[in-house]
Each structure stands twice: as structure tokens, then as C-alpha cells.
């Protein structure tokens, strides 16, 4: 039986753009501490594998409309440090941007969290996609994609060497002889690359897990290559079951061709479930979230300057192949109107019907607003009862499309708790998720081995060129020391 990995991607005011407007939703970031504490308690009681904290290194008025959860949020390293003290078993994954972070400082902080939490820390490495972050870090411009990934490869290599500065038994602490440290088991990093230069050693003992599990998300070919060669968890958004199977096979093949054990790469898909007591109840929640989401036509004199361009009837018209820009956003989508839509437009009508229960021929037809929302909100939504969502998860796992899911909650705390208290027990009943923690570290939760120390396993390793499937030569780390 397939054992799913299930983690929660925590967004304190909800992951859906209008989730904070839903009745009873948390909406004030000054109260995030209480929400995070409650989420951690619920998640650990449900035996979730980890809590995942993303990051964004800038803010602005545009985020209010596009992704409100990014406007003001707790630093992820601070969040996992806070939660490490009030939890005992669940994994805690923080995000760091390799474009702007200092590897020694990050290695020190993350090794410390892993030691203090008993081996429950993980690290999501990103290269950044926010141009405003450059100015916030004293840079004139945001680096190009390839340059960022060249630095990320060096960063990941250095990070592991820093974590491995101390061998596990380097601290002798022999009171009788007066010997505290075996200096032969303390190793310098001594790395001097094109983007980074780090001497080391790190002044923190080796993490409980040896290396924290590394996570990476992205869609570009370079991102997938980085994930396949360097990550333990690859977060990949997929459009459907067949797409998921193809992506997972591609990533596993890239991992194998890079010289690592491809079974150690876990492919995780983000998903936003809307959980209801009945299917109709779940669809009503999704429908209300759609109604609460503002679109450009809600402002008679035009939307604010920072409003997303894709959330409008004008942009919808391009997708539908029919000009609906002069119509009311609450105009019903009738069968005669649908008959004029492009294939993409008709598919959009089907998505709305599946999510909200509204159909052109039904008593409650969808409106143009529903189509705008479905087209502009990029979320892999699954709407239904706890049993229906659990069945969908199991189907994906048994088809080989994913190793697990990163679960987002549209509304905090209601939808997070509906998933943890409703869907998770269904997954446990089906035998695809454990009823108790089977290990004490995050690596054990994820089914990952503890790696050997790179300084001593099969000899020291160097940064070696690796050829990707696209024929390009990339700099990556020799894997033989990592997965014996």
C-alpha cells in the first residue's frame, strides 16, 4: 500500500485570495502567533509530516489583490523556531532564498534549529522571483535565472559541507584525559567558487539528521534539474493526473542520470482542498469564495493601479474567444453563450461547475465573475467531502503521479481544521497515511536515509560538471557520497 507524504503549506490568513474575507477567517497578521500555534497543535495531533513556510522578500499594494498572504508575514526561520518549542514530533520546513542569503549564517541557523528540535527541521531553497527583493538587499537588479541557479548549486554544495564540519563523534568530551575535541574530525569547507567563497568550519555541531531535508519548487528546466540533482523533496504544480505521472517520471529519470538513488527524490504536489460536510456544502464554500473575490469591473471608474490585469472581463474575453467586456460580471452564463466559447472557454465552464455546482443549464447558472475567478486564480483545487478528497489523493498516489501533497487551506482556521480533522482520518482509514508517527525526525517521516558526512564518505567530494538531459553542462555535486 502506498504511504503518502502529507504536509501543510501554512499561510496564516488563508491561501485563497479572498479567504481572509470569509466569515470567521483570521485576517490580522498581528495575531499570527496564535493561529500558528493552533495550526501546529492540530497538525501534530493529525500526524501530518510537516508544516511548510514559504517566503517573499518584498511587499507592495499589488499583493493585497493578488496574494494577500504575502503583504505581511512572519519570517519562516522565526516561525519554525517558535513552533519547535511548542511541538514535539512534526517536521518544520523553512524557506531561504539562495540569491540573497549568506550560506554560513543559514547553515548555522538551520543546524541549530535541527539540534534544538530533535531533528525535525527542513529547508526549502528558492532562487527568487521578486524583482523588488534586489533593492531590499542592496542590489541594483534581480539576477537572471541561470545566474541565480549557478549560485544555488554552489550554495547547496557549501551548505552540506558546512553542516558536516563536525563528524558525529568529533566532540570527545573525555573529562579524565582533558580531551574535548578530536581536531582530525573537524573539517573546513574551503570552497572558492564563481559566486561563493566560504572557509568554515561551522561552529555548530552536526545536525541530528546529518543534513536537513532540502526542498525545491519550480517549473523551468533549470529548476527541475536542480531539484533532481540536489533536493530531497521536489514541489511541482501539476495540471492533472497524466501530467503528474509524466513530471514525476522525468524528475526521477534526471535524478538517476545524475548518479543519485532516484528513490530518495520525493515528488510533492501542492493542492488546495475545499472540504465540506457534503459535496454541495463544499461547493457552496467555493462559490462564496468566488463571490468574495473582486474583479476589475467592481470599480465603476476602473480598478486600482496595482490590480491584477488578468482579473477582468477584458482578459476573460481573450480566453473565451468572445467579447464579454461590456457585459455585467454577474451576467448568467447561458447555454447559448457557452456555444460561442472557444474550447478553452468551455473547459473553464466545466471547471466552475465541478468546483461550485453551477452549470449553464442548471437552476443556479455560473456567471462571468465565476469564469474570471477560475481563470485568474492559479490553484489546484479539489472540492468535496473528506471521503471524496481522500479518494482523490489515494488515486493520485497509486497511479504514481505523486509521493505526497503540500496542502494549502483557503480559509484559516476553518478549512485547515476541516482537512486535518476530516480528510486525514479518511486517509488513515484507507491505510495510505499512518495513525502514529513512525519516527522521530523529519527524514524518518519522509522515508529518507541519514546521509554520511561528505568530508569522509568515499573521500571528499568536489563540484563536478553534470550534463542535463537537455545537453547543457551544469555544475553539480557528485552524489556517491550522499546516497551510498
What is the gyration radius of the CA atoms in the chain, in angstroms? 24
Secondary structure class of 293 (helix, strand, coil):
coil
Q: Is 207 left (phi over 0), alpha (psi -120 to 50) or beta?
A: beta
Q: Is 395 marked as binding a ligand? A: no
Q: Is 105 marked as binding a ligand? A: no
Contact 334, 352 (CB under 8 A): no
DSSP 203-220: SSPPPTTSSPPEEEE--S
Secondary structure class of 180 (helix, strand, coil):
strand
Query: Which string of b and e fits 115-133 if b means at least 16 CB within 10 Å?
Result: bebebbbbbbbbbbebeeb
Nearest to 394 by CA among 354, 423, 422: 423
Q: Is 149 marked as binding a ligand? A: yes
Nearest to 379 by CA among 269, 245, 254, 227: 269
Q: Is 437 marked as binding a ligand? A: no
Secondary structure class of 35 (helix, strand, coil):
helix
Q: How far apart are CA 412 and CA 18, in angstroms?
A: 11
Q: How far apart are CA 37 and CA 386, in angstroms?
A: 24
Residue stretches of the annotated binding site: 55, 95, 149, 220
Residue stretches of the annotated binding site for FMN: 55, 95, 149, 220
Amino acid at each position: 500500500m502506498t504511504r503518502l507524504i502529507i504536509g501543510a503549506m501554512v499561510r496564516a490568513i488563508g491561501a485563497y485570495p479572498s479567504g481572509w474575507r470569509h466569515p470567521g477567517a483570521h485576517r490580522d497578521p498581528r495575531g499570527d502567533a496564535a493561529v500558528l500555534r493552533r495550526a501546529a497543535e492540530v497538525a501534530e495531533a493529525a500526524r501530518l509530516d510537516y508544516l511548510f513556510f514559504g517566503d517573499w522578500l518584498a511587499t507592495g499594494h499589488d499583493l493585497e489583490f493578488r496574494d494577500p498572504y504575502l503583504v505581511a508575514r512572519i519570517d519562516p526561520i522565526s516561525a519554525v523556531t517558535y513552533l519547535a518549542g511548542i511541538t514535539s514530533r512534526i517536521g518544520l520546513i523553512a524557506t531561504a532564498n539562495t540569491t540573497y542569503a549568506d550560506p554560513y549564517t543559514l547553515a548555522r541557523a538551520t543546524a541549530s534549529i535541527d539540534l534544538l528540535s530533535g531533528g525535525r527541521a527542513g529547508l526549502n531553497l528558492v532562487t527568487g522571483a521578486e524583482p523588488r527583493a534586489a533593492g531590499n538587499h542592496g542590489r541594483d537588479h534581480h539576477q537572471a535565472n541561470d545566474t541565480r541557479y549557478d549560485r544555488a548549486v554552489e550554495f547547496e554544495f557549501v551548505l552540506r559541507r558546512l553542516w558536516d564540519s563536525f563528524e558525529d563523534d568529533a566532540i570527545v568530551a573525555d573529562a579524565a584525559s582533558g580531551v574535548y575535541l578530536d581536531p582530525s574530525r573537524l573539517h573546513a569547507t574551503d570552497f572558492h567558487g564563481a559566486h561563493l567563497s566560504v572557509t568554515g568550519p561551522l561552529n555548530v555541531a552536526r545536525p541530528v539528521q546529518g543534513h536537513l531535508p532540502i526542498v525545491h519548487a519550480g517549473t523551468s528546466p533549470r529548476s527541475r534539474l536542480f531539484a533532481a540533482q540536489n533536493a530531497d523533496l521536489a514541489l511541482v504544480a501539476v495540471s492533472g493526473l497524466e501530467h503528474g505521472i509524466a513530471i514525476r517520471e522525468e524528475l526521477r529519470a534526471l535524478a538517476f542520470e545524475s548518479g543519485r538513488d532516484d528513490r530518495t527524490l520525493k515528488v510533492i504536489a501542492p493542492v488546495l482542498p475545499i472540504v465540506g460536510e457534503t459535496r454541495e456544502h463544499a461547493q457552496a464554500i467555493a462559490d462564496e469564495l468566488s463571490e468574495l473575490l473582486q474583479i476589475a469591473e467592481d470599480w465603476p471608474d476602473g480598478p486600482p493601479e496595482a490590480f491584477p490585469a488578468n482579473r477582468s472581463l477584458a482578459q476573460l474575453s481573450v480566453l473565451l474567444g468572445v467579447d464579454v467586456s461590456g457585459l455585467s460580471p454577474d451576467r448568467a452564463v447561458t447555454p447559448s453563450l457557452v456555444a460561442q466559447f472557444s474550447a478553452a472557454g468551455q473547459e473553464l465552464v466545466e471547471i466552475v461547475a465541478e468546483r461550485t455546482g453551477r452549470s449553464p443549464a442548471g437552476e443556479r447558472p455560473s456567471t462571468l465573475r465565476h469564469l474570471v475567478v477560475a481563470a485568474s486564480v492559479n490553484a489546484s483545487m479539489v472540492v468535496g467531502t473528506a471521503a471524496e478528497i481522500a479518494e482523490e489523493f489515494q488515486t493520485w498516489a497509486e497511479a504514481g503521479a505523486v509521493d505526497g501533497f503540500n496542502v494549502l487551506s483557503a480559509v484559516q482556521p476553518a478549512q485547515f481544521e476541516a482537512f486535518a480533522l476530516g480528510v486525514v482520518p479518511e486517509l488513515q482509514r484507507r491505510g495510505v497515511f499512518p495513525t502514529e508517527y513512525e519516527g522521530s525526525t523529519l527524514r524518518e517521516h519522509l522515508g529518507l536515509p541519514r546521509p554520511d558526512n561528505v568530508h569522509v564518505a568515499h573521500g571528499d567530494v568536489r563540484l563536478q560538471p553534470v550534463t542535463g538531459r537537455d545537453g547543457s553542462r551544469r555544475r553539480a555535486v557528485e552524489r556517491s557520497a550522499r546516497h551510498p
